Amino acid sequence: MGLFDFLTYDIAIDLGTANTLIIHNDKVVVDAPSIVALDRTTGAFLAVGETAMQMHGKTHDNIRTIRPLKDGVIADFVASEHMIRELIKSIPGLTGRLFAPSLRMVICIPSGITEVEKRAVKDSAEHANAKEVYLIHEPMAAAIGIGVDVLEPKGNMIIDIGGGTTEIAVLALGGIVCDESIKVAGDVFTNDIVYYMRTQHNLSIGERMAEQIKIQIGSAIESLPDGPEDMAVQGRDLLSGKPKSITISYREVARALDKSILRIEDSVMKALANTPPELSADIYNSGIYMAGGGSLLRGLDQRISMKTDLPVYVAEDPLRAVVRGTGIALKNIEKYKTLLMR
Ligand SMILES: Nc1ncnc2c1ncn2[C@@H]1O[C@H](COP(=O)(O)OP(=O)(O)O)[C@@H](O)[C@H]1O
Ligand SMILES: [Mg+2]
């Protein structure tokens, strides 16, 4: 420990397409939707995180909400920088100190992002007073968070289903051996539900209602042993224009999501087919690990397991596996040096 260590502050950030999480001292201190609200006329930022989420879908002409990382790429540099800065500022106990501490951080990024976007993330972090910034790829952080020893000469397969992207990666010796990334994940599931309600029930529903359906009764298979109860869904009748409520079952949701889940299954099969044989042998023995909010969809692990004939394990608290792994990498920077990018 150095003399001036009290002036540095270590944080780990999971910059997700749907949620941004920050860990400091082993504790999750920020867990907020990755969203920014701004004034359309002046361009001024109005809110980030939860407050901005409340406005989402309920905005009028003057307010716009953006999800700067929506599809796993940085759609809006200025907005994402603002969001990163504001979320860092919202860490309890960080602001209002006598000396603003300089930050050391590890940031987890979607593996699809380009060099230019990586640079932009680093710049944003540096503008937020970061002295040392390391980047880590999402599947790697997820694996560490799940408790997999990624440095071992042993293959492991991770599927991370987030908001914007599903990343399927085979890891060994601290590196990514093969990597499939598709833009089919939680957001697409939500849109599938919107589309299904529109075409099957003539009911127009909002994104937030659709997400609620997905979380409350969403399923990847049509016959669950202990399926959730039917759910009442409110929206606007497309024929009469009146507000309307109908009841739907998890089976319908499974039908609505089927095509997208098939696409995820295909990508998993593709990743398995591209895996070198020695690593295939390892995966045969250890199975597949799943993380990310999308892996909470009922029966999804079972479907992937049936498709691949492999055991599938969902991380404990899958929404936080990535930030936990990022936090572990931060705490053991020397150990994980080879897989962190400066
Ligand atoms: N119980 C659940 N069932 C299905 N999907 C869920 C559940 N909880 C969260 N999600 C979905 O998970 C996604 C967010 O996952 P997350 O891992 O935070 O994404 P990202 O890393 O891209 O920010 C969202 O699309 C959200 O709707
Ligand atoms: Mg994620």
Structure tokens at 301: 């692990």
Residue nearest to atom 18 of ligand 1 (CA): 19
d(CA 259, CA 243): 29
Atom of ligand 1 nearest to the CA of 298: 3
Structure tokens at 140: 């790697």
**How much distance in Å is there from the Cα of 14 to the middle of ligand 1?**
13
Amino acid in the structure at residue 17: T
Binding site membership of 257 for ligand 1 (Cβ less than 6 Å): no
Q: Please report which ligand is nearest the Cα atom of 33.
A: 1
Rg value, the chain, Cα: 21
Cβ atoms within 10 A of the Cβ of 242, count?
7
d(CA 189, CA 3): 51
**How much distance in Å is there from the Cα of 74 to the middle of ligand 2?**
14
Q: What is the pLDDT along the chain (342 residues), one digit of tens a residue?
A: 445 556 788 999 999 999 999 999 899 999 999 999 999 888 899 999 999 988 887 767 788 899 988 877 787 888 888 999 899 888 887 776 656 778 899 999 887 778 888 888 888 888 888 889 999 999 999 999 999 999 999 999 999 999 999 999 999 999 999 999 999 999 999 999 999 999 999 999 999 899 999 999 999 999 999 999 999 999 999 999 999 999 999 999 999 999 999 999 999 999 999 999 999 999 999 999 999 999 999 999 999 999 999 999 999 999 999 999 999 999 999 999 888 888
d(CA 69, CA 21): 14
Q: How far is CA 244 from CA 57, 82, 201, 202, 216, in A?
A: 18, 39, 11, 10, 19
Question: Which residues, 6+ apart, have CB-to-CB distance to 135 below 8 Å?
Answer: 106, 107, 108, 109, 118, 121, 122, 340, 341, 342
Separation of first and last alpha carbons in the chain: 22
Cβ atoms within 10 A of the Cβ of 273, count?
9
Binding site membership of 319 for ligand 1 (Cβ less than 6 Å): yes
Binding site membership of 112 for ligand 1 (Cβ less than 6 Å): no
**How much distance in Å is there from the Cα of 186 to the middle of ligand 1?**
6
Amino acid in the structure at residue 68: P
Cβ atoms within 10 A of the Cβ of 100, count?
12
Q: List the domains of the chain with CATH numbers.
A: 5-141+322-339 (3.30.420.40), 150-183+262-315 (3.30.420.40), 186-256 (3.90.640.10)
